A and B are shown apart, each in its own frame.
Chain A
Amino acid sequence: MNSWSKKYAFMICLFGIVIFLPFLHPGDYALHIGILIFINILLATSWAMILKMGYLYFAHATFMGIGAYGSALLMMKGGLSFWLSLPCGALIAAGVAMLMGFPFFRVKGIYFALITFAFSEVVRLIFIRWKTLTKGATGLHGVPLPDPIIFGGFLALHFDSKVAYYYLALILTGLCLFALYLIERSRFGFTIFAHASSESLLESVGVNTLLYRIQAFAISAFFAGFAGGIYVHFVRLAFPNTFSLSYSVDTVSHAIVGGTGNFWGPLCGAAFLTFCSEYFFSAAGFYSSILLGVFLMVTILVFPEGIIALPKRILAHIRSARIEVPQGKNP
Chain B
Amino acid sequence: MMSFAIIIIGGMGTILGTIIAGFIIGNINNLSSTLFGPEIGSIVVFIAVMLVILIKPEGLFGHE
- State the A residues within 8 Å of B (CB): 103, 106-107, 111, 114-115, 117-119, 121-122, 125-126, 128-129
Contacts and interface: CB of A to CB of B under 8 A. Distances in A.
Given A111-B57, A114-B8, A129-B37, A103 B50 contact: yes
A106 B39 CA distance: 27
Interface residues of B, number: 16
Interface string B1-24: 100110010000000000000000
A106 B49 contact: no
Interface of B: 1, 4-5, 8, 37, 39-40, 42-43, 46-47, 49-50, 53-54, 57
A122 B44 CA distance: 8
B50 to A, nearest CB: 5
Contacts, number: 44
Nearest 4 A/B pairs, CB to CB: A129-B39, A118-B49, A111-B57, A115-B53
Given A106-B54, A115-B50, A121 B42 contact: yes
Contacts of A126: 43
A214 to B, nearest CB: 16
Contact of B39 (A103, A107, A114, A125): A125
A117 B4 contact: yes
Nearest to A128: B39
A300 to B, nearest CB: 23
A118 B43 CA distance: 9
Contacts of A119: 46, 50
Contacts of A115: 49-50, 53-54
A115 B47 CA distance: 9
Contacts of A118: 5, 8, 46-47, 49-50, 53
A121 B46 contact: yes
A128 B5 CA distance: 19
8 contacts: A103-B54, A118-B47, A118-B49, A118-B53, A121-B1, A122-B46, A125-B42, A129-B39
A117 B2 CA distance: 12
A129 B43 contact: yes
Given A121-B1, A122-B43, A122-B46, A114 B53 contact: yes
